[in-house]
Structure 1
Amino acid sequence: MEFPVDVLEAIGHEELESSAHSYMSDLLYVDPDHSQYLSLTTGRKVRISLSNVGFVPLYGANLKHKVLALFAPEDQFTAVALLLDDKWYAVDDILRTADSSREGLIKVRSVGERIVLYVLNRIVYRTSEMSAGEVPFLCHGENDFAKILWKNGEAVGFYSVKPKGSLCSNFVSQCYLLPVMDSIFVRRGHRGQGHGLQMLEDFVDSFKDDELGMKFPLSPAMSQVCRHYLDRYPADVDLLWEVEGVGGPYQRTRVASKLSTHTLKVLNIQCLHLVTLWVFSIGIMSGLGKTTQKCKCAGYNPDTNHIKGPGVNKNIVANGCSNLQFIGITRLTANSDCFFVFWRHERNPHSIKHGMVLMLWLNLSHFSS
């Protein structure tokens, strides 16, 4: 079976729209008692009638190019199929290809690929896979730089870039001062497999500028991707910038600096029952009466947020420091395995102390910015 991205290689917008208008004209004369139905990949059948078909713009506010869409009766805002080259294709089929050479990240060029990009962004991402609180991506323009990630005959993600010198949509006459990755998406079933890092590496390889932008604000997932990238390529510490607007001198923040100042949080804390920290105290701890004393704090309990328990030095217990309340932990630099830990004594909660922690042995995958 051939899919739209395979058959629309040499077909333009005008041909698609012309055939769609002809189809709509014919639909006017269809007997309602003998309506056609489209079978979706789920097995469900959707009736095709004038009441649930309509034209949708491919490029957002640019209404020049449209495609005919079929909507489910209960949801008139989400398309379940598109009419392409005189044939209805369900959304799932639009994201497939029969071309085995279409694998990995491929630049969007043809109308068929633009339609795949539209479906991934407007239908898949916005309606079912956008996380709560996320700001949706803008619609891609007709000539936007974008690449689709193909995997085993299926489109599973994309990223897009505003090249240096291209017009910024938020301003009337200002252009981007550096290339800016303005959208990146991987389908839920394919996350956690390194595709985000793969796209970021491809972005760096595709644009040879000394500075590359990431659209503000960086999501937690994208921050983690950037952290992995900088761990792998420490020489690129000055390459990536979080960009607002067109990326002027006061509209950008170095990603490495931002990551290094973020407080690390524990992921999957319910599985992390005990973390042993060796704390080298700096300054005078309240109640210890000693300076620069090595203190073994055994057992960080995530349920009570305390460092306490067996293994605490007897001298410290005698001095009333058996209970230390954990406050936070911060990485020294973006690529460092050394951290500062902040704590305070329960009997003197206003006295915040800090110490350096060496976590060379700790699996850093438990932490994220």
Structure 2
Amino acid sequence: MTSNENYLPLFCSSCRQVALSRNWDDSLLVATEVDASETYELGHISIVQCTSCNKFLGLLDDKSTFYTAESILANENTKTKTDGWHKIEESWERMVLFVLSQVVYKEYEEPDETLLEVEFAFPPPTDLIKILWVNEQPVGFYSVKVKGTLDPVAMECYRMTTLDTLFIRRDYRGQGWGSSAVKDLLLEFPQENIGFSFPISIPMNRVLKKYLEVTPSDRPRFWEVTGCGTEGNTRNLWLMSRRQPPTSSSRITASSSSTLE
């Protein structure tokens, strides 16, 4: 992974201010550091933010090596990745996940509320997490709460394996990767019902509806899940789609995902 050492100055692309001015032998003069080791479980890494607008500038490791979002996504290790969905296995991949989920999605390609897209928290290591690689570039990810996983906030366990987050970068949408994620998930859990966290975005709902239209055998398996999916908090997606009036089919609610088709 390439880094920027003795980078002086660094401009914030959002507010156009000098956000980071540093001789790496000295202390930060302007930017704010946030310890990411506990909140994001990234190891000995700090998040560097612009103090003027709080936008992400980069990550700083315990050796004072600074990484921009671009350098993390262009990590030389990515050259070993084939196209498709790959489980996170190494620490540098969690840095890639952080940039995709907390920087690219939240700051560069902001969720569209009209499509029921929502922000989501950084997936914990207890989730099953896969990154989508295309042409040796990380361009998306999904995270799954496996059945039996404890929700530390609700202090309840997930009653059903649930797709919690799914994001694909805009330039790679419309290429079938949303459907590919659904099929990949079914390969991981071939005998289980699959939940999809509420609210499900309109584009994701289209992907699921299209899949179920041509795969009747899986219609009993796909569920909208609220919270941990306790009694009364699940609804069958196929039955939901059948109850929608034709004129409002594009407004079915339910995922934490973006335009995916």
> Quick one: higher RCO (CA 8 Å, sep 6+), 1 or 2?
2
Contact 1:146 1:158 in 2 (8 A): yes
Distance 1:58 1:122 in 2: 15
* 1:54 equivalenced with 2:28 (yes/no): no
2:42–2:95 CA contact under 8 A, matched in 1? no
Find the aligned partners of 2:37 and 2:166 in 1 and give their Cα distance: 19
Given candidates 241, 257, 263, the residue that maps to 2:245 is 263
Within 1, Cα distance between the matches of 2:237 and 2:9?
A: 48
TM-score when normalising by structure 1:
0.57
Structure-2 separation of matches of 1:108 and 1:186: 16
Aligned mate of 2:134, from 128, 139, 151? 151
Give the Cα–Cα distance (whole angstroms) in 1 for the partners of residues 138 and 249 of structure 2.
Answer: 38
Aligned residues: 233
SS of 1:241 mapped into structure 2: strand
Gaps of 5+ in 1: 5-22, 24-34, 265-327, 332-369
CA distance in 1: counterparts of 2:87 and 2:80, whole angstroms: 13
Cα deviation, 1:315-364, whole Å, max 9, x if unaligned, reads: xxxxxxxxxxxxx4879xxxxxxxxxxxxxxxxxxxxxxxxxxxxxxxxx
Q: Which amino acid aligns with 1:141?
A: P
Cα distance change on mapping 1:119 and 1:329 into 2, 3 Å = closer
Q: Is contact 1:58-1:118 (8 Å) kept?
A: no
Structure 2 distance, partners of 1:64, 1:55, is 12
Query: Which structure has the bigger radius of gyration?
Result: 1
**Matched ranges for 1:1-369 at <5 A:** 2-3=1-2, 36-37=7-8, 46-48=20-22, 49-57=28-36, 60=39, 65=43, 67-72=45-50, 74-75=52-53, 77-84=54-61, 86-98=64-76, 99-103=78-82, 104-133=84-113, 134-172=117-155, 174-264=156-246, 328=247
Question: Does the Cα contact within 8 Å between 1:102 and 1:150 map onto a contact in 2?
Answer: yes
Distance change (3 Å), C-alpha of 1:259 and 1:107: same
Report the aligned-residue RMSD: 2.9
Cα distance in 1, alignment partners of residues 124 and 249 from structure 2 = 41
Q: Displacement, 1:262?
A: 2.1
Cα separation, 1, equivalents of 2:176 and 2:38: 29
One-letter identity of the residue aligned with 1:126: K
Deviation at 1:245, TM superposition (A): 2.1
Secondary structure of the corresponding residue to residue 157 of structure 2: coil
Change in CA separation of 1:225 and 1:83 when aligned onto 2, cut-off 3 Å: same
Task: Determine which structure has the larger strand proportion and give its number.
Answer: 1
SS in 2 for 1:218: coil
Alpha-carbon distance in 2 for matches of 1:119, 1:243: 27
* Post-superposition offset of 1:38: 5.9
Structure 1 pair 205/217, CA: closer, same or farther in 2 (3 Å)?
same
Q: C-alpha separation between the residues in 2 aligned to 1:55 and 1:164?
A: 32
- Structure 2: give runs of 5+ residues left out of the alignment: 23-27, 251-261
Identity of aligned residues (%): 28
Which stretch of structure 1 is more off in the superposition, 95-104 or 211-220?
95-104
Shift of 1:216: 1.0
